[in-house]
Amino acid sequence: MSQRIDQKLVDEYNTKGYITIRACLTATEVDVLNQATADVVQLDGPQVMRERNGLPHVIYGMHLMDKRLSVLAHHPKLVHIAEQLLGKQIYVHQSRVNAKQTGGAVVNWHQDFGTYHRVDGVPRPDGIMIAIFLNDCTDHNAPLMAVPGSQEEGLVSQASTLTEAEDRDGASKYRFDISMEKMSELIDKYGLEHITGPAGSIVFMNMQVVHGSTVNITPLKRVILYLNVCTVDNQGTAFVRPNYLAARDFSPISPMADDCLTSFATA
């Protein structure tokens, strides 16, 4: 695959606010990332947010915790496409493993920029949420859902940190959930889509797109790795959260070689 996308996909990104590159990573690369994730979810500490039953829900700062996941942030396919869409060099504002456990927490409707702006002091929505599927994401195993075109709304004001959120003490502590009244308006205006694709697919999503996911009631795994990147001139200024939640290092990401991940398979 080329490390750049064609104009049709660029136009789709600009219109919908996101695109999915199906099977962007090879099976070998996915295997390496699955092995890395299996190691990271065994760790403990404040970076690990857990379900009520103690299983890991979200592990933040993944690129700071494992060499393979750090290399993922430098993968040329990710870096070049993100830079193409944003027109500038990028840094990692936040990374995380989202292990959508069977019966785990719902992720309420939100915009990533809602937290990055209000809490971290990121001035502009000049950034992208990059989601890497480590399993087949289907209509059945609680796929990511998004409101296409909702980035045109700007920062939605009808949002707040909800004390009654299912994962209030974990992943949602700083998340600004959008009210159901506003969601009804947005869905009436823009519609709603499931984002699906085989393992190795990568989603590039504008940080202002409204998205969320429901509970996974299947035994099917649904692990997604997230790299949220911003342009290097769009840095956080309020250091309220620790560095595994909000970057202190604004160095531009340098792309590595094409085989940067596959090299781990033979190491």
Tell me the pLDDT tens digit for each residue of 19-76.
Answer: 999 999 999 999 999 999 999 999 999 999 888 888 888 999 999 999 999 999 999 9
| In CATH, 7-233+259-263 is 2.60.120.620 | yes
The amino acid present at 102, given as its one-letter code, is: T
Q: Which tokens in the block code for residue 82?
A: 């993100």
* HEC readout, 196-242: CECCCCEEEEECCCCEEECCECCCCCCEEEEEEEEECCCCCCCCCCC
Give the strand pairing for 211-213 and 144-146: antiparallel
How far is it, in rounded angstroms, from Cα 54 to Cα 12?
40
Residue 234 contacts residue 87 (beta carbons within 8 Å): no
Sketch the domain layout of the chain as residue ranges: 7-233+259-263
**How confident is the model over 173-231, as pLDDT tens digits?**
788 899 999 999 999 999 999 999 999 999 999 999 999 999 999 999 999 999 999 99
Q: What is the pTM (predicted TM-score) of this model?
A: 0.94
Q: How many CB atoms lie within 10 A of CB 48?
A: 20
User: Locate tokens 């927490």: which residue?
Assistant: 105
- Alpha helices by DSSP H, the chain: 7-16, 27-40, 62-65, 67-72, 76-86, 112-118, 180-190
